Amino acid sequence: MAFFLARFSHHRFRLMAGAALFCLAGAARADGELREILDPGQGLYPSQDDFGEIGLFQVPTARMGDDGDIRGSGSFISPYHRFALSGQAFPWLEGVFRTTQITNRLYGLGSGFGGHQSYRDRGLDLRFRLSREGPDLPDVTMGITDFAQLGQFDEEYLVATKRYGDFDVTLGLGWGQLASDAMFPNPLKFLSSHFANRHPISGAGGFRTDFFTGPNMSLFGGFEYKTPWDGLIFKLDFNPNDFRHDSFNEINDIKSAGPIDAGFVYRPFSSGPEISLGMERQNTVMLRVGFKTNLGHLTGAEAPLLSHVPKIDPQRVPVPPLPPDEVAVRDKALAGTDPSDPATVRTALPRPEPVPAPLPAESWSALGDLGLAADGLGFRILSIGTAGGGATGGGATGGVRRVTVVRRAAARGDLAEDIGQFARMAGRLQPAVDRVDLTLDDGGSERRYRLDLPALERAVAMTGRTDESVRAQNPDPKPVPAPHRTIERLDREIAKAIFADLEAAKMIGYSFEIKGHEAILRLGNYRYRYLPKALGDAARIIDARAPAEVTEITIAEVEGGVEVGRVKMRRDDLERAFTGRGTAEEVFAHAELSGGDALGDGAIENPDIFPDFTYRIRPRLKTQLNGPNGFFLYSLYAGLSTDAQIRPGLTLSGEFGVNMLDNLNRLQNPSNSLLPHVRSDIAQYLKDGKYGIQSLYADYETRLGDDLYGRLTAGLLEEMYGGVDGELLWRPYGSRWAFGLEANQLYKRGFHEQFNFQSYNVATAQASVYYDMPWYGLQSTLRVGRYLARDIGFTYELSREFESGMRVGGFFTITNVPSRIFGEGRFDRGLFISIPIDLATPFPSRSSIGTVYRPLTRDGGQLLSSPKQLYWETYGEDPERLHDHWDGLTQ
C-alpha cells in the first residue's frame, strides 16, 4: 500500500484536479435523494475522521449526521492520541470537543508540573451546513477547527461532497494547517490586508478571530467507496498539511512520506460501534475506534394503561365498604338485588331496584346544565339511567328513565318547591326522564321522595302549584337511618378511593374537591417524565369515581409541595378519547390551562401523605478530567439518598457516599490558583472524601402569590459548601420569560466531607433571566452577580432538550478576574448532559442522571451547586410543552 500511495503523491495535483472535475461535471447526476445517501441500507453513511468531525481520514467532508446524533472516537497515530466527542446540535450545525495527547511532549513542557504525563491540547470545532445536496448540487459545509484554547491544529475550510453511485466524492478549499502545501495564494488577502497573515492565540483559553487568513490556500479532497461487503467502506484522501505550522514544530519528529491517506472503516449497524484502520502520511498506521447514537430517537419505558382502575361507569358513585354497624342498613337497602354485581353493591342505592344505566354521550351537555342547576338548589345527582335495563345508542331498551339525587339538609328554600323545580328540569332531558328519586339528608337520616314526572307535569298544569303536586305524590316521607348518604360523607369516600387508586398508580393525591360541576385533584406526579401521561391516568381514576353532575375534571400539578399549574378538561371529551370515539387533541382543544392556585375551602386533603420517607441506593461517579495529575481520575461510589416530606413544601434530604473503586492515589499536585481556592481544591475533596456526607439539608418551597415562588434551603448543600440559600422566582404562566433572584451565605466544608468547616466563607447573589426559545427546544439562562471567589460577572447557559428527553448544553462565565490571575483557561466554561433514567429501564421514571464537564477546574466564575432550583421545579407545564407531549394522555 505504501508503494501505491507513493505513486499517487507524485501526481497529487493532477489527482486533485481530476477530483474537482469529477465533482463539478455538469453531465453527472446523483443516484438518489439525500436520505438514500445517509441510509445505512445504501452503505454510505457519515463517519468520523481523526479529529472527531465527519470526514475521511485527516480531512473533512461536507456530510452531516441526523439532528441529535452523538459521536465519540479515539484515534491513535504517533505522536497524536485524539479523543473526541461530537454532536449534531442542529440539522445545520455540528460541534466537536477534542482532547489531543501529544505523546512526545510533557504536560508541563519541561517545568516538572504534571510529572511524566503527556502534553494535552484541548480544542473546539464548529461546522456549518451551507446547502444540502440536490440532484445537481453537492452538500456544502463551512468549518472552523480549533478556534479556542491554543489553536494547535487551527484551520478553516469550505468543502463540497457529492454522491455518484457507490462513490461519495469530496473537494474542498483549506486555510491554516490545511494550507501548508501552499497550492494557491489566498484570494481574500486581495480584499483586505487583514487576511494576509495569521495571528496565533497568545495564551491558553483564548479564541481565534483570524479566520480564513494566511498567505496561502490549498485544495484537499478524496472519496469514499461502498464495498460489496455490508458496512465496509474504503476511504482515500489528499491531506495538504505537512506539519510545518503546528505550535511545536512537529515536522522535526513527523517524517511524512506523502499527502495520501487510505484505509477502511467498518460499522455493521447504522448506530453503535465503528472501527477504522488506515495508512496515513503514506508511512504510518492509524487505528480509530468510535461509536454513534442519536439523542432524539432514543425511547424509554412506556407504562401500560392502568390495570387497577375499577371498571365502574363514570356516572355511578362508588362507596367503600361500610362500617360493621351500617352493614345491616345496606343489606336491607339491597334486598332483592344481585349481590354479585359490583356496580350494584358499590352504588348502594336505598331501594331493591336495578342500577340505572347511564345516559348516552349526546345527552352529556344537557346533563351538565342540569348539574349546575342542581348545585344551585343544593342537590347532588348520583345517577341517571333506565330503571329496567341498559341503554344503547340514544335510547332505553327497557324500563323508565330515572334520576337519583341527594340534597343537603342545610339547603335554603322551600323543599317541595325546589324538588318540583328540579324534577321538571330533569324531565326535559333527552331521552326523557320519567322518574326522580330524591334522598334528603335530615340530621343523619334520609327522607326519600319519588316523583312520577308525567303525573307531576299534568298536576302542575291543572293547579299551577308545584309544591302541592310534590306533596301529593309524597305526603309523609319517613326518615330512614343511613348516615353514609350525606354529600359530605360521599365526597370523603370518593376522595379516599381516588387517593388509594393514585397510590396504586405510584402517584400522590394531595387533595380532592367537588366544586359544583367541577372535580379538582391536586396531583403529585412522581412517576412519569411528561405530565400528560400522568393527567390521563389520574383522569381515568376520577372519571371512574366522580358523581354524574361532574362535567369538568381539573388536575393541578404539585411540585415540591407547591402547585405550579392546572389543567381543566371536559369529562365528555375525556370519555370519548379514552374509548376511542375521540382524540387527545380534542381534549386539548377544549382544555383550560392556568398557573397554580390556592387550596379550595372545600378541599379534602389526603391524611396519609405526611410524613413520607423514601430512600434509594444508586451508583455515583466523581471525575476530574485533563488535570495535572492524570487524564481521567475517578471515584465510583454508592450513594444512599433519603428524602422525608414533613409537610407540604418542607423536605429533609441527604446523601451519604461510600467509595467502591477509584484511582485517586495519583493525586499529587496541589492547586496553584492565585484566587481563593473555592473549587480548585477538588482533588483534595476527591481524595479525602471517599466516605462522606455528600449533602444533608432542609428545603422549604412555597407559592408566595400569582406566578411568584419562593425557596429556602439550609444545611450541607453540596460536597464543598454548606450554609443557607434562598431563591425567588417570578414565572408568569404561559410566558417564555422568567426572572429569578438567588442569594446565600456559604461556608467551605472540610475535605473529609463530614460536619466540619474551613475558615473561608462568602456571600453570593445572582439575578437570573430565563428564556425558552421557540426553536429546537432551546432554553437559555443569563445570570449576573457575585461568585464564590468574590468576583463579579455573568454566566450564560444554552441547552437543548431532544425528543428523547435528553438535555445537552454548554455555558461560559466571564468575571472581573484578569486572565493572568484566573490562570490557564482565562475563564470558566463547560458542557453538561442530563439523561432520563427511563431510557434504560423497563419502568417509567422522572429521575435522570447527569454530569458537567469542564476542561479545567479553576476558581473564577464558580457558583454554588444548589440542590434545588425553582425554575426547573416549575419547568415543563406551560401550554406549548404540554401540547408537545399531549398524545401521552391516552397512552
339-358 pLDDT per residue, tens: 434 333 333 333 333 334 44
Q: Quick check: is 267 in a domain?
A: yes
pLDDT higher than 90, residue 173: yes
User: What whole-number distance in Å separates Cα of residue 522 and Cα of residue 519?
Assistant: 10
pLDDT for residue 731: 93
Domain boundary among 467, 483, 499: 483
Residue 413, pLDDT score = 63
Residue with cell 303536586: 469
Q: Which long-range contacts (CB under 8 A, 24 or more apart) does 863-866 make?
A: 863/764, 863/766, 863/783, 863/787, 863/788, 863/795, 863/813, 864/717, 864/718, 864/721, 864/725, 864/744, 864/746, 864/764, 864/788, 865/717, 865/718, 866/713, 866/717, 866/718, 866/725, 866/727, 866/742
Checking if the pLDDT of 188 tops 70, the result is yes
DSSP 89: E
Q: What is the pLDDT of residue 300?
A: 53
pLDDT tens digits, one per residue of 593-642: 988 888 888 899 999 888 888 887 877 777 766 666 666 777 777 888 88
- The DSSP annotation for 150-197 comes to T-TT-EEEEEEEEEETTEEEEEEEEEEGGGTT--EE-GGGGT-GGGGS
Helix (H/G/I), strand (E/B), else coil: 578? helix
> Does residue 456 share a domain with residue 542?
no
**Is pLDDT above 60 for 443?**
no
CA separation, residue 526 to residues 227, 505, 512, 555, 697 (Å): 51, 10, 18, 15, 21
Is residue 211 within 8 A of residue 248, CB to CB? The reply is no
Averaged pLDDT, 781-804:
94
Q: Are 166 and 212 in contact (CB under 8 A)?
A: no
| Residue 305 pLDDT | 38
Residue 219 has pLDDT above 90, yes or no: yes
Greatest Cα pair distance, the chain, in angstroms, is 118
Q: What confidence score (pLDDT) does residue 659 get?
A: 78
**Using the 8-state DSSP alphabet, how is residue 322 labeled?**
P
Check whether residue 182 and residue 45 sit in a common domain: yes
What does the alpha-carbon distance between residue 772 and residue 802 come to, in Å, rounded to a whole number?
14
CA angle 167, 171, 174 (to 5 degrees): 150
pLDDT at residue 507 is higher than 50: yes
Contact 662, 690 (CB under 8 A): yes
CA 521 to chain centre: 24
Give the Cα separation of 312 and 292 in Å (integer): 49
Shared domain check, 286 and 171: yes
pLDDT above 90 (res 102): no
Same domain, 97 and 194: yes
Interval 158-184 mean pLDDT:
91
Average pLDDT, integer, range 70-93: 90
CA–CA separation, 226 and 46 (whole Å): 12
Please indicate, yes or no, if residue 333 is contained in any of the structural domains: yes
Length of the chain: 891
Which string of DSSP letters, residue by residue, matches 411-480? --S-HHHHHHHHHHHHTTSSSPP-EEEEEEEETTEEEEEEEEHHHHHHHHHHH--HHHHHHHHSSSPPEE
- Which is more confident, 803 or 739? 739
The confidence score (pLDDT) of residue 713 equals 96
Rounded to the nearest angstrom, the gap between the alpha carbon of residue 516 and the centroid of all alpha carbons in its chain is: 36
Q: Name the one residue in this structure whose C-alpha cell is 369538568.
A: 552
Long-range contacts of 746-749 (CB under 8 A, 24+ apart): 746/717, 746/721, 746/722, 746/788, 746/864, 747/721, 747/722, 747/723, 748/678, 748/720, 748/721, 749/716, 749/719, 749/720, 749/721, 749/722
Mean pLDDT (whole number) for 726-738: 93
- Residue identified by cell 456571600 is 763
At which of 453, 483, 513 does a domain end? Answer: 483
DSSP label at residue 327: H
Beta bridge pairs of residue 710: 702, 728
State the pLDDT confidence band at 310, using cuts at 50, 70 and 90. very low
pLDDT at 99 over 70: yes
Q: Tell whether 425 and 505 lie within a shared domain.
A: no
710 and 839 in a common domain: yes
782 and 770 within one domain: yes
The pLDDT of residue 591 is 92
CATH number of the domain residue 678 falls in: 2.40.160
| pLDDT bracket for residue 245 (50, 70, 90) | low
- Residue 616 in domain: no
Residue 303 domain-assigned (yes or no): no
Look at residue 316 and tell me if it is in a domain: no
Q: Are both 514 and 467 inside the same structural domain?
A: no
Q: Which residue, among 571, 565, 564, 503, has the nearest Cα to 542 in the 3D structure?
A: 571
Query: 306 vs 795, which has greater pLDDT?
Result: 795
770 — pLDDT class (breaks 50, 70, 90): very high
Domain end position, chosen among 483, 498, 532? 483
* Domain extent for 167: 2-294
State the Cα angle at 872 between 871 and 877, rounded to 5°: 90
pLDDT at 621: 73
Q: Is the pLDDT of residue 35 over 60?
A: no
Q: 178 pLDDT exceeds 80?
A: yes
- Looking at the fold, whether 411 and 538 belong to one and the same domain comes out as no
Buried b (16+ CB within 10 A) or exposed e, 585-600: ebbbeebebebbeeee
Please name the residues in contact with 229: beta carbons below 8 A apart, sequence gap of 6 or more.
none
Task: Tell me the per-residue pLDDT of 831-855, one tens digit each, with 9 for 90 and over.
Answer: 888 888 877 777 787 877 777 877 7
Neighbours of 116 (CB within 10 A): 8
H-helix or E-strand spanning residue 223: strand 216-226
Where is average pLDDT lowest: 90-99, 284-293, 393-402, 550-559? 393-402
Whether 531 and 885 have beta carbons less than 8 Å apart is answered as yes
Strands 630-647 and 612-627, sheet pairing? antiparallel
Cα(309)–Cα(523) distance, integer angstroms: 16
Say if 211 falls within a structural domain.
yes
Confidence band for 394, pLDDT divided at 50, 70 and 90? very low
Q: Using N-to-C axis directions, what is the helix angle for 487-504 and 531-545, rounded to 10°?
A: 140
Same domain? 385 vs 432: yes
Q: Which pLDDT value is given to residue 357?
A: 46
> Is residue 6 over pLDDT 70?
no
Q: What is the pLDDT of residues 634-675, one digit of tens each?
A: 777 788 888 898 988 899 999 888 877 777 777 666 777 889
In the structure grid, which three cell numbers stand for residue 789, read together? 471567589
CA dihedral 303, 307, 309, 315 (to 10 degrees): 110
pLDDT at 362 over 70: no
Average pLDDT for 353-374: 57
The whole-angstrom separation of Cα 802 and Cα 645 is 32
Long-range (24+ apart) CB contacts under 8 A made by 345-352 are 346/310, 346/312, 346/316, 346/318, 346/319, 347/316, 347/317, 347/318, 347/319, 347/382, 347/383, 348/319, 348/322, 348/484, 349/383, 349/404, 350/439, 350/446, 350/448, 350/480, 350/482, 350/485, 351/437, 351/448
Mean pLDDT (whole number) for 377-396: 52
pLDDT over threshold 60, residue 552: yes
Indicate if the alpha-carbon torsion angle 331, 337, 340, 341 is positive or negative: negative
Domain-located, residue 594: yes
What is the structure's pLDDT at 170? 96
Residue 388 has pLDDT above 90, yes or no: no
Q: Give strand pairing partners of 762.
A: 746
- Whether residue 481 is predicted with pLDDT greater than 80 in this model: the reply is no
Res. 39: pLDDT tops 50: no
Question: Residue 737 pairs with which residues in a beta bridge?
Answer: 771
602 lies in some domain: yes
Burial 341-351 (b: 16+ CB within 10 A, else e): eeebbbbbbbb
Distance in angstroms (rounded) separating the CA atoms of residues 761 and 750 = 12
Q: What percent of the chain has pLDDT over 70?
A: 75
Beta bridge pairs of residue 126: 95, 144
Highest mean pLDDT among 259-273, 341-355, 605-619, 750-764: 750-764
Question: If you average pLDDT over every residue of the chain, what do you get?
Answer: 78
Report d(CA 150, CA 129) in Å as an integer: 26
Above 50 in pLDDT, residue 561?
yes
DSSP 592-651: EEEE--PPPTT-EE-TTSSSEEEEEEEEEEEEEEEETTEEEEEEEEEEEEEEEEEETTEE
Q: Is the pLDDT of residue 151 over 50?
A: yes
The percentage of residues in the chain with a pLDDT greater than 90, rounded to a whole number, is 32
Looking at residue 40, the DSSP 8-state letter turns out to be G
CATH number for the domain harbouring residue 48: 2.40.160.40
> How many C-beta atoms lie closer than 10 Å to residue 778's C-beta?
16
Same domain for 115 and 254: yes
Residues 167 and 278 in one domain: yes
CA atoms within 13 A on the CB side of 96: 31
Count CA atoms closer than 13 A to 256's CA, side-chain side: 20
Count up the domains in the chain and report the number: 4
Of 673 and 756, the structure prediction assigns the larger pLDDT to 756
